[in-house]
A and B are shown apart, each in its own frame.
Chain A
Amino acid sequence: MLEVNGLAVAYGAIEAVKEVSFTVAEGQIVCLIGANGAGKSTTLKTVSGLLRPRRGEILLWGRPIHRLPAHAVLAAGIAHCPEGRRLFTDMSVEENLLLGAHLRKDRDIAADMARVYELFPVLGQRRTQRAGLFSGGEQQMLAIGRAMMARPKLIMFDEPTMGLSPIMIQQIMQTIAVLRSQGATVLMVEQNALAALTLADQGYVIDLGRTTLSGPGDQLLADPRVHEAYLG
């Protein structure tokens, strides 16, 4: 479904991503793991069109998307749930969800919003409150719900468990599994390699801007090199 080949991305003179390649098959959960500053978030931002690659290509169903503006990438079916949640904190839960559905013109928006409230009842109970008033975990739920509202084919999560309690981490990971079971394809970046690889069908290790290792999640979990670097 998604194919990233030889991606390089630079901020000015600094090349944060040097040679990243991976594929995401439909219905899978694919996880990119790696240390801080390895280039994981930069990779996601480039897929979603916020950044432009210096080299390499990004194909969605064989069609190049790395020259498209961000709004066109979303229209093509890729939603990005960014690092640090990035909610519109001055706006209500409802408005945040409506922004997630910004490109949609169909009549099912209200039904999808009800689905988000069903998945995260706390959001439904406080739908008119400002997003900034919610706890970190609740904000992450809202960020996930907001990304779902676009009805994406592929949904990308950047550090969805960052700063959350263990119980909350478990809940977020469960939600991601539920999304997959409902037909979504997931590309995830995580520092919490254990939680992520447990869930992932396929994992890639990114080190200093390069994909160095790949394999099924459980296989990577068992790999001594992964163990030493990210799970030790």
Chain B
Amino acid sequence: MAVLAQQIVNGLVLGALIGLIALGYTMVYGIIQLINFAHGEVFMVGAFGAHFLARYVLPEDVRWYVALPAMCLAAVAVSIGVAVAMERLAYRPLIGAHRLAPLITALGVSILLQEVVRVFYPGATAPLAFPRMFVEGHLAIGPVTILWTGVLALAVAPLLAAALHIYVERSRLGRAMRATAQDPDTARLMGISPNRVTLATFVIGAGLAGVGAVLYGIHYTQIDTAIGFQNGIFAFTAAVLGGIGSIRGAMLGAFCIGLVKSLAGQYVWGGVQYDYVWVFVLLILVLMFRPQGFLGRPEGMRA
């Protein structure tokens, strides 16, 4: 029982972190029907941005309540910077092109970013140690222990997702986003600039990925240039599983994936070596019976 409970907790923490990336996938797809496969890399560069700040800028004896917000700001800034450049340089010129063109471009951008970081970031050819925070002690509930970093991830991710949901439902920009998602041409007739909405969507997704990157780094205490690709695939799967375009769906899908990966790693034949296989088995099973995902709408229902 203790092991089961522990694995559930571990899975939920992983799910929370993946969820923060999945929100970016689901937002961008919801609004411009682009699967931004380079979004995982936006997460990755955020982690390196935070690492750079902590390793080369902040003094060594800096307190966590200074370091953590500062690292989050650095990660968010780097992630947003890269996402904006990507939208401007790679995707915007392809507006109106065949829909495979941006998809292939996204894959190219993904490889480019991984390689640029690997080649130019000092020491990035091997995994880098991430600053350790709150390592002393943990939260214990009966036999289950959660690192404070895990508690933080479990608190922050749903909070940010809820804030995003409210923002999209209530704000003027959120309304413009929903209008563009439903009917881009009519949204333009309302005076909404599609470029501005798209850019805002990339910025929001990148900001969430940046926060996720810091939470990921301090929890797993190690980063490398492949974390974007690996977690990006899981996050994309989470977004599809939950119903791509849906904010709540992305979080739900991410928690499911975290749980399946964690439990399969513990209990299913093959162990952690094969845990990710079961994530995709779950995806296939769900899509067979519910192609639109948990909370998505069937194709053709869109406005």
Instruction: List A residues at the B interface (Cβ < 8 Å).
Output: 48-50, 69-71, 74-75, 79-80, 82, 86, 88-91, 95, 98-100, 102-103, 146, 150
Contacts and interface: CB of A to CB of B under 8 A. Distances in A.
A71 B192 contact: yes
Nearest to A51: B185
A90 B179 CA distance: 9
A217 to B, nearest CB: 26
Interface in B20-53: none
B189 A88 contact: no
A88 B183 contact: yes
Interface stretch (B115-123, B170-178, B214-222, B263-271): B170-178
B190 interface: yes
Contact of B178 (A49, A69, A91): A91
B189 A48 contact: yes
Nearest to A81: B189
Interface in B171-204: 172, 175-176, 178-179, 182-183, 185-193
Nearest to A45: B185
B175 to A, nearest CB: 6
Given A49-B188, A50-B188, A88 B178 contact: yes
A99 B179 contact: yes
Interface in B156-179: 172, 175-176, 178-179
Contacts of B175: 91, 95, 98-99, 102
A102 B178 contact: no
B1 interface: no
Contacts of B89: none
Interface residues of B, number: 17
Contact of A88 (B172, B185, B188, B303): B303
B190 A102 contact: yes
A167 B207 CA distance: 53
Contacts of B178: 88, 90-91
B190 A74 contact: yes
Given A48-B189, A71-B192, A74-B189, 10 more contacts: A69-B193, A82-B189, A88-B182, A89-B182, A91-B175, A91-B182, A99-B179, A99-B187, A99-B192, A150-B191
A86 B183 contact: yes
Contacts of A89: 182, 303
B189 A50 contact: yes
Contacts of B172: 98, 102
Nearest to B182: A88
20 contacts: A50-B189, A69-B188, A70-B189, A71-B191, A74-B189, A86-B186, A88-B182, A88-B183, A88-B186, A88-B303, A90-B182, A91-B178, A91-B182, A98-B172, A99-B187, A100-B190, A102-B172, A102-B191, A103-B191, A146-B190
B159 to A, nearest CB: 25
B192 A82 contact: no
B193 A71 contact: yes
Nearest to A147: B189
Nearest to A132: B303
- Select the residue from B178, B188, B189 with max chain A CB neighbours within 10 A: B189
B176 to A, nearest CB: 7
Given A88-B178, A90-B303, A91-B178, A75 B186 contact: no
Given A89-B303, A90-B178, A102-B176, A75 B189 contact: no
Nearest to B302: A90
A75 B191 contact: yes
B245 to A, nearest CB: 12
A79 B188 CA distance: 11
Contacts of B193: 69, 71
A80 B172 CA distance: 21
A20 B172 CA distance: 38
A80 B186 CA distance: 9
Nearest to A50: B185
